[in-house]
Chains A and B, each alone.
Chain A
Amino acid sequence: MAGFLDEIEPLKQTALAELKAAPDIAALEQTKGAWIGPNGRFTALMKQLGTLSKEEKPAAGKLINAAKVELEAALAEHRSELELAAALPKHPTDFTLPGRRRTLGKLHPLTQVTEDIVRAFRKIGFAVADGPEIEDEYHCFDALNTPADHPARDSQDTFYIATKVENVFPSPGGEGRGEGGRSSLLRTHTSSVQIRVMKSQPPPVRIIVPGRVYRRDNADATHNPTFHQIEGLYVDKNVTVGDLKGTVEFVFRELMGSDVKIRFRPHYFSYTEPSYEIDFTNALVKKMGKDWLEIAGCGMVHPQVFETVGYDPAVWTGWAFGFGIERIAMLRYGINDIRLFYENDVRFLKQF
């Protein structure tokens, strides 16, 4: 009996060593079969139990079972090790290699800036409005208190449409390239939308109008015949210059940073009175070696404009302001040539 019990421990040790030494899964399975498979040596030991006396059986059985459990645990552990080893790629992965990219496209910088401006205005209750780019002289000039003989209305700056169009609104003394002193043109500013909106909805009005505008300038680093403006219009009771200043400050701080300072200067636009130009300054402007940079024009809506659209200037006051989107984008990103916006070079587009 003593001999049988004494055999178990060395046999277990040998089995453990062989299991651990198995170089791969196949060898491991083979070793498993040799020891704890149906014909394995431990299985044989179990069968020998029957030859033992009643007193000896329990101790021997316990011993063999414990050894078997230990062997199975060792087997499972080594199997996991071997499976992991087998799953490893042949060569170690270089995690510094560039990955396989699914690139997102970029929104055009002008779109991004426009959306930022729109977001800033919407925070304070403005709705986006829109109007046609082919305009008539009435909406672009006359209704904005700029009659045909007005020095501010210079045809050198305006593109006219060759097609003769039946416009509903006459412009007395206008360029008259169309019939009856009427003609179509490419809007020179988004302000024409002010008129269309005020004529179509009663006050109060609180809108912004982003859009393309056109001036008859040859393209150079600071000019493109096509460019973008955004217009803001607020008409309500008791609207003051203070409101205008407050809104301008809010919007430009949203856009250009909280260190922005705003300055109003007297200026002239035919459709606002008083009129102002807006200068701003911040760390960026100082870095450019300037005290102030001109950024926008604005003013209180001229009572004549209210009369034209049928609002009572004794009841309603309002302000309007407008600025160039390219200019904001150029300042924000440090872009030095406006033409880059319209060339669509992917090396440019991917930067924003």
Chain B
Amino acid sequence: MWFDQASPDDLNYLAQYGVWGGVPAIPVCLPGLGRYGRYQFDRYLLLQKNDLTIAQRRELVFLADYFHKIDHFEFFELTADANERDIKKAFFRFSKRFHPDAVRELNLGPFAEHVRLVFEYGQQARDLLLDDQAFKDAYARVTKARDLAYHSKLQAERERQHQKVAEARSKGIKPPKSMRVGATPTPLPQNQRSQAEIDERKSLLRERLAQNQGRRQAHEQSKQSADLKSQAKTFFMAGEQAEARGQVSRALNHFKLCVEYMPKEQKYIEALKRIEAKVAEDRASKLWQEADSLYKSEDSIQKQAALDLFKEACALSPSERRLVAFTQYSLEFELVEDLIPILQKTQQKEPFNIEYMWLLCQCFELSKSLSDTQKYMEMILGLDPSEPRALRLKKRYRF
């Protein structure tokens, strides 16, 4: 009888709750066999498509199939000496995995029924263990006694087997296959370590704990950066959408945020640059239109104002067409001081565009700095020796 070592009072008390109050006769989780003992999993079921992790699936299948064959402590991965706090924590862990709310958004596949069953049972087990201290104590005592009895029985059986083998060996008979085991019986783990050993083990565990903590911190950091990444990605997508819809300033804001979150991501920086250019271009073209309309009027003051607007537009987005036009207007008014820096800047950006050099030539010619004019003219001729405008210039000034 497994329950020989349990007190009869406890057994009687538990009997009120059904057969031994739900303490099964054999522990499933034997030492060395892990949580699921010798449970045979149905591989086909485990590999069905759904959103659960494999570990969760294994646990679900096992619990749903075996909840009446394991005791309440094993159900929550606890030992019989767990206190109220441990049980609570274990239940919280359990419900974070299997509460209907926790799996609400998941595709459970064939496991929906398992989750429902297991959570319902878990609640009952928790209520039994937590709400009734007397039950819990009796349950813990009986479970312990059962484990002890079962282990000692296992040990005895093993020893008997080894004895048989030894006897057979001594008689020169080869033992049958089923009895072939190691020469000496492996003792069950017992708490017979010396203090020094225990201390050593403790320090080892502490070390591992520290290591794990380091790893956890690293993990959290990486998670944070992943958060940033995902945030940036959402902003990027929103920005792209806005851009597609033509909401430029909104897109600009989104891309700015993107770059703020992930300042090193080349894709985002490029997008930001692109959109900034677009915004500048938009504004420039607006200014340009305005300036154009002003310039058409006969009033010279308005024309002057138009020139200012032209300048602003060119500074924002210097395109060839604009610069050519602007230079022309400026030459008309003989106002090239503002124009030269813009032109120079643009020319440096696109060093092989002859048009810009020619514009510069014209400007410097107007401002009577012939050395600069010559410099740019030579640059043009260096690039294209047969450029007619430059040749004409050369002829005129006899460089």
A and B associate in one complex = no
